[in-house]
A and B are shown apart, each in its own frame.
Chain A
Amino acid sequence: MTRIALAAALIALFVLVWQGVASLDSVDDLTLASPVETFDALRDDWDLLMDNAWVTLVEVVLGLALSVVAGVLFAVSMHVLRPLRDAAYPLLVGSQAVPIVVLAPLFVLAFGYGIGPKLAIVALICFFPITVNLLDGLRATPPELLKLMRSMGASRLRTLRSVELPAALPSLFSGLKIAATVSVIGAVFGEWAGADEGLGRLVLLGNNQLQTPRVYAGIVILTLMAVGLFALAALAERVAVPWNRKDASA
């Protein structure tokens, strides 16, 4: 309970400071909308914001789902096939070093204005933390445990299913939580490169049309979306990894 109270207090403080700075004469209203103006924009443009938020949310969730499937497949294959891991690791890191902002317009050129390029960009950003975390988790299985499984005559698949994968679940969720927070940024990049709907596009348009309060309202919703996805991932972890709560050492 104190945790929630502390977090709420800090957010309240943040909003107060924001309001204070925005009210200064030296700050241009076109640069910084105050919390009150942002709230007004949220209220007035609610339907418009929600319609576009829905579009972005779908892109984010589908892109995340895609990255989880791809990430798990990649991590498990790389874990089981040592040569594949050695060969693919540099490429994996490289995939994250590519500047998405530059890549996004090319994706739009290739896949058009639809949802395709957005999914590709979200998945490309989220894929990395999921794959790397799961791979590290799989490799962190205690060697004595692997030795025990060997002595019991377990097959490679049995060891993977009964020992390595469950043991790596907390790592997978760590990756998923990071992915959840960056996924929204990916969708916004995707929409900036070319889209006719979505919150990212709305924010970009608002910027061009000097509708600063609407831009801030969009940012608030995007932030809440990311926080909400993070919370969902954390909740899923609590459900899927119940043994980790009581006994952190195991």
Chain B
Amino acid sequence: MRTETEAPVTESLSFRKVTRRYGALTALAGIDLDLRANAVTAVVGPSGCGKSTLLELVAGLQEPDEGEITRQPSAYMPQRDLLLPWRDALDNAALALECQGVPRAEARRRAAPLFERFGLSEFEHVRPAGLSGGMRQRVAFLRTLLQGRPVLLLDEPFGALDAITRADLREWLAAALVEEPRTVLLVTHDTEEAVFLADRIVVLSPRPGRVVADFEVDLPRPRSITDRAFIELKARALEALR
């Protein structure tokens, strides 16, 4: 089924010796990274290792001090849902289209089918204050999808949620990405989340962030967190983090 949100991927997204500094502080040091199209790459690292900087560099919100980035049009999803409290869920998602100059009524019309497909129809007209944290994050994800960009940049998308909602949303996102395949750069400090969602895991060192491990997650989907191979990969990621 073709939708508004589908966007073809042709070219690659890559980092070549990318360094980013804030004054005397080096956030990222010589990052080399190529993202595979339509695959989920998880970047795992301790707090303050420059994970968010990595995303903002791809989003074009920051420029590298050294090195080069080959960018692709990307949609950025911050950790907090940042829904506008005066707009209902549908209008909040439709904002992505309005930012591209689509008139409001048209934007709503085009956003509605997505709510139906992802089981959020009954929440279309609810304002954020009336939504649970998990629901708000889903709406924020739809807003990200609606930008129609081939690359999704997810910055700790479940970081602000409780453990149960997190697990729930993780499965929802995995299913959503099967339906709407994208090149995803997922930033997280949670190795379980990384192994659950990603095709490939890149581990960064503490500041300054460098790539210290890079391996494939070759597990069938849907994945089970109690599976032996799952646990082994999680241990491997944790080991690399030390």
Interface residues of A, Cβ cutoff 8 Å to B:
142, 144-145, 147-155, 158, 162-163, 166-167, 241-244, 246-247, 250
Contact = CB atoms under 8 A, between A and B. Distances in A.
B84 A162 contact: yes
A144 B127 CA distance: 20
Nearest to A240: B86
A243 B85 contact: yes
B80 A150 contact: no
Contacts of B61: 147, 150-151
Interface string B142-159: 000001000000000000
Given A144-B80, A148-B82, A247 B128 contact: yes
Interface stretch (B15-23, B93-101, B201-209): B93-101
B142 to A, nearest CB: 13
Contacts of B60: 151
B85 A250 contact: yes
In the A-B complex, the 9 residue pairs with the closest CB atoms:
A247-B129, A250-B85, A154-B99, A152-B99, A151-B76, A243-B85, A243-B86, A246-B129, A151-B59
Interface of B: 59-61, 75-76, 78, 80, 82, 84-86, 95-96, 98-100, 127-130, 147
Which secondary structure dominates where chain B touches chain A? loop
B62 to A, nearest CB: 10
Given A149-B99, A152-B96, 19 more contacts: A142-B82, A148-B78, A148-B82, A150-B61, A151-B59, A152-B76, A152-B100, A153-B99, A158-B99, A162-B84, A162-B95, A162-B98, A166-B86, A167-B84, A246-B127, A247-B128, A247-B129, A250-B128, A250-B129
Contacts of A152: 75-76, 95-96, 99-100, 147
B135 to A, nearest CB: 14
Nearest to A154: B99
A29 to B, nearest CB: 56
A247 B99 contact: no
Contacts of B127: 243, 246-247
Contacts of A166: 84, 86
A158 B95 CA distance: 10
Contacts of B84: 162-163, 166-167
Nearest to A153: B99
Contacts of A142: 82
